[in-house]
Structure 1
Amino acid sequence: MAPLSLTTERLLIRDWSVDDAEAAFRIYGNPEVAMWLAPMMQRVTDPNAMRSVLEAWVESAPNLAPPTGRWAMVRRSDNVLVGGLALRLLPPYEEDIEIRWQVSQHEWGKGYATEGARALLGWAFTQDVDEIFAVARSSNARAVATARKLGMEWVGETTKYYGLLLQVFRVRRADFAGPVPPNGGE
């Protein structure tokens, strides 16, 4: 897949780099962020482990079928990494595509997850995808609120995906109210 670069009013959404390891560790190594990632991803324990994770993400990126992938969210005003975004196939059947967002705890409540995810959804809907899901534990009020802000419809609860009771949200291309970038965001 060609490198992705999307811009919003405040963010640049770009491919991860191994050079992001230290900043990414402040997100994926933070217990307050990581508690919501398990079992999809475990807390990263040190900067070297984060570097290894990023190496794997960078190496696998060209082999992923669009729109799946993982991207960094960088604040445009100061080039600070504020979070990450992903579009992944949901287990166990790998038919449904899930959008995920992770934001640095120091940046919570500033709307970066919604802004970045809205741009990524707009791009994803240029890639022959009809619907995208988000799943969250009901106790993860921030994730549930973000899904709703994105215009995602609550479709129920399930233990199908990760063996946890999760709230499931969905947005269809026909119902998506966000911007769709010209030329597929490239």
Structure 2
Amino acid sequence: MTTQELPTLLTSRLRLRTVAEDDVAHVRDLYSRPEVTEFIGTADWVETTREQALSRIARYRAAAGTATGIWLIETLEEHQPAGFALLKPIPWSRHLTAPDDGTAPEPPQDLEIGWHLHPDTWGQGYATESARALLAHARRHRLDHLVAVTHRENLASQRVATRIGMTHRGTTDRYYDTTCELFTIEL
């Protein structure tokens, strides 16, 4: 399967680019940390092997679309990976999807903006800066709105969502088969 390259997005301090197999050490390090993965998904998990990291890289590369994808964030000066910025379709919770018999239509797909940052880069504004680059990218592609969801205890991500102009809408169970805090923005 051929995957397309994401456009490189630049900010004053960061480059957002397509992840490559050469990034395997960073991917393995990032997702092997419980403090990173504790707010991603509904189960406790870490990925500690090279094979798991390569599989994640393949999934991230396959997620590339015309306007969407999962970008590796790296610093411009040091070329150091800092984490990932996401602009991708968000999965509906099972109770909202259409039955297999086709009797009810599925709701229109929402797009999610998100970020997974390495703890060594926390507190430096990289999540906010990369999210703003994704918002500009989404506007260039005439996307009309985005959602962000966070674990209710993930106050740092909630602050990022607010900083980039998103509105807190309370809790929702529409996505990922769990209850999370919902933020939205109209573009």
TM-score by length of 1: 0.85
Residue in structure 2 matching 1:34, options 34, 37, 53: 37
Stretches of structure 2 that go unaligned for 5 or more consecutive residues are: 93-106
Structure 2 CA distance for partners of 1:7 and 1:158, relative to 1, 3 Å: same
Greater alpha carbon shift after TM alignment, 16-25 vs 1-10: 1-10
Q: How much is the aligned-residue C-alpha RMSD, in angstroms? A: 1.8
**CA shift for structure 1 position 87:** 1.2
Paired AA for residue 46 in structure 2: R
Greater alpha carbon shift after TM alignment, 154-163 vs 76-85: 154-163
Paired AA for residue 37 in structure 2: A
2:173 aligned partner: 159
Which whole-Å CA distance do the structure 1 matches of 2:43 and 2:110 have between them?
15
**CA shift for structure 1 position 26:** 1.5
SS of residue paired to 1:22: helix
Which whole-Å CA distance do the structure 2 matches of 1:73 and 1:46 have between them?
21
Instruction: Give aligned pairs, total.
Output: 170
1:5 maps onto 2:19 in alignment: no
Which whole-Å CA distance do the structure 1 matches of 2:109 and 2:167 have between them?
19
Residue in structure 2 matching 1:17, options 20, 24, 30: 20
SS of residue paired to 2:140: coil
1:169 aligned partner: 183
Paired AA for residue 89 in structure 2: L
Q: Is the 8 A contact 1:40 1:162 kept in 2?
A: no
Q: Is the 8 A contact 1:24 1:81 kept in 2?
A: no
**Which 4+ residue blocks in structure 1 deviate beyond 3 angstroms?**
39-42
1:91 aligned partner: 91
Which is greater in Rg?
2
Deviations 1:127-183 (A, max 9, x none): 12110110011210111011011110112211111222211101111xxxxxxxxxx
Paired AA for residue 148 in structure 1: T
1:52 maps onto 2:55 in alignment: yes
**CA shift for structure 1 position 3:** 2.9
Structure 2 CA distance for partners of 1:41 and 1:85, relative to 1, 3 Å: farther
Deviations 1:69-124 (A, max 9, x none): 11100001100000101112122246110011010011111100000010011101
Paired AA for residue 53 in structure 1: R
1:137 aligned partner: 151
Structure 2 CA distance for partners of 1:13 and 1:40, relative to 1, 3 Å: farther
Q: Is the 8 A contact 1:10 1:75 kept in 2?
A: yes
Greater alpha carbon shift after TM alignment, 49-58 vs 131-140: 49-58
Q: Is the 8 A contact 2:86 2:113 kept in 1?
A: yes
TM-score by length of 2: 0.84
Stretches of structure 1 that go unaligned for 5 or more consecutive residues are: 174-186
Which whole-Å CA distance do the structure 1 matches of 2:161 and 2:87 have between them?
14
